[in-house]
A and B are shown apart, each in its own frame.
Chain A
Amino acid sequence: MIRFHRVSKTINETPIIKGIDLHIHEGELFVIIGPSGCGKTTAMKMINRLINPTSGTIEVNGEDISQKDPVQLRRGIGYVIQQIALFPHMTIAQNVALVPRLKKTPANDIQKRVDELLSMVGLDPESYKKRYPSELSGGQQQRVGVIRAMAAEPPIILMDEPFSALDPISREQLQDEFVRLQQTIKKTIVFVTHDMDEALKIADRICLMKEGRIVQIDTPINLLQNPADDFVVEFIGSDRLRKNLREFNISSRETKVTELSNEKLPRGGVT
């Protein structure tokens, strides 16, 4: 789906990304994590060409993106950022409808899509559509931020620390909803975070970066069981390593049970 081939980025003679190779599969939730300054956000922003690599190529669906018009490319890739950045002068409906409107989708289809998406994250379309972002809580705003990125049904969504500005309770809630959402929509999601708990909770695969290089790419369980080197151990933290390994062992036995009980839970609570 997304392939990095010897991608490097140098800004003002400082190397930010040092020749990374990466393959992100279709339908997976791919988390890029690492300490600040490791190049994780830069790597993500190269996928929708907000940043262009100094050397190397990036392919999306086998096509070299440097050959594509950046505007068209971006309209096919959802984008969610930490600052949420709902446009304050537009209603919730207008915010969600933005990309479909840019793509000149028929108005009727957009209306239907907006209602559907709002319901999906537990926001009643009738009472929320006409509101302005400032009238919503932070958690509600970022729910809108997430569905805005999904509105034009892009196969790929990029998320840059989308939940890190939220309070701990909303963050947990949104992570849970997000995992559930991803199980139904199965998009290819590239998710940047610096929060290891978040990564372990949501990721299909985790890519740990350090100083512009990839240290390890693995599933959460493998990362915990077979950390590639001391840096990985250190970054995960030995406490978390023990705790999560225990939980993973329990949860893998209990998956069936939780999946069943999840069915009965009401979807998307309003806060």
Chain B
Amino acid sequence: MSEFIEFILERHSDILTVIWEHLYISFIAVIAGFIVAIPIGILLTRMTSISTIVIGMVNIIQTIPTLALLGFMIPLIGIGTFPAIVALFLYSILPMLQNTYTGIRGVDPAMVEAAKGMGMTDFQILFKVEIPMSISLIMGGFRTATIYTISWATLASLIGGGGLGYLVFTGLTINNKSMLLAGAISAALLAVLADFFTRRIQKLATPKGLRN
């Protein structure tokens, strides 16, 4: 135990650096995923004929083990932070895409009909009715994606992407339990914090009339 505290005190600036790296790669991946997944999810609700194909394809990406996907990145775009972000980005898409799609499809058709019958344009129906009514589910997808990405980002160091995985895997290799623990505990804490904050965001994004 004292060994562990000593390690923390001695190496705190290094630890903070990898925590920063970890957050950085996770967030860029999730934000990029958000920017891509939400519009595609919305678009798919307008093109139901191809939606099963697209969601199926994204599902396939999801079934590739994380480690294998990271491995794929090496011949394609080499090693380092960028390939790690690309891999995590691909992973983050599915939960957000799926929730956006099911959220908007799940809006009561009577609501959409009422909106249309009252003279809203398709654009107004989307932004004033469908999105507000499914935003809670959409942001739930964002939450899932964020938490997953933060845990998966631990593997990024395997292709030279940095992050807390560096402490975990180096600790394992050189049999330094303190280093291993510092990495593992930090990663777990980050995931818990991410859960807390994304839960808040989800709640704040939900319109008042729809909060229970």
Residues of A bordering B, CB below 8 Å: 48, 50, 71-76, 79, 81-83, 85, 87-91, 98-99, 102, 132-134, 148-149, 158
Contact = CB atoms under 8 A, between A and B. Distances in A.
Contact of B118 (A79, A83, A89, A91): A79
Contact of A79 (B114, B121, B133, B207): B114
A74 B209 contact: no
9 contacts: A74-B116, A75-B118, A83-B110, A85-B110, A87-B129, A88-B210, A89-B210, A90-B209, A132-B208
A50 B124 contact: no
B209 A134 contact: yes
B53 to A, nearest CB: 25
Nearest to B117: A79
Contact of A48 (B117, B128, B129, B132): B117
A79 B115 CA distance: 9
A98 B207 contact: no
Given A83-B114, A99-B119, A102-B119, 12 more contacts: A48-B117, A72-B119, A74-B119, A81-B110, A81-B114, A85-B108, A85-B114, A88-B207, A89-B208, A89-B209, A89-B210, A102-B118
A72 B121 CA distance: 9
B111 interface: yes
A50 B117 contact: yes
A89 B131 CA distance: 11
Interface string B88-121: 0000000000000000000010110111111111
Contacts of B113: 50, 81, 85
B180 to A, nearest CB: 48
Interface residues of B, number: 21
Contacts of B111: 85, 87
Contacts of B110: 81-83, 85
A50 B132 CA distance: 23
Interface string B197-212: 0000000000111100
Contacts of A149: 118
Nearest to A72: B119
Contacts of B114: 79, 81, 83, 85, 87
Contacts of A48: 117
Interface of B: 108, 110-111, 113-121, 124, 128-129, 132-133, 207-210
A98 B209 contact: no
Contacts of A76: 119
Contacts of A88: 133, 207, 209-210
Contacts of B117: 48, 50, 74, 79, 81, 158
Contacts of A83: 108, 110, 114
Given A81-B114, A83-B110, A102-B124, A75 B208 contact: no
A83 B118 CA distance: 14
B9 to A, nearest CB: 51
In the A-B complex, list the 3 residue pairs whose CB atoms are closest, starting with the nearest: A75-B119, A132-B209, A89-B207
A88 B114 CA distance: 13
Nearest to B208: A132
Contacts of A90: 207, 209
Given A81-B110, A134-B209, A50 B116 contact: yes
Nearest to A85: B114
A88 B128 CA distance: 11
Contacts of B129: 87
B209 A71 contact: no
A88 to B, nearest CB: 5
Given A81-B110, A85-B111, A133 B119 contact: no
A102 B120 contact: yes
A81 B210 CA distance: 21
Contacts of A134: 209
B32 to A, nearest CB: 28
B203 to A, nearest CB: 14
A99 B118 contact: yes
Contacts of A89: 132-133, 207-210
Given A79-B114, A83-B110, A71 B121 contact: yes
A218 B110 CA distance: 31
Contacts of B118: 74-75, 79, 98-99, 102, 148-149
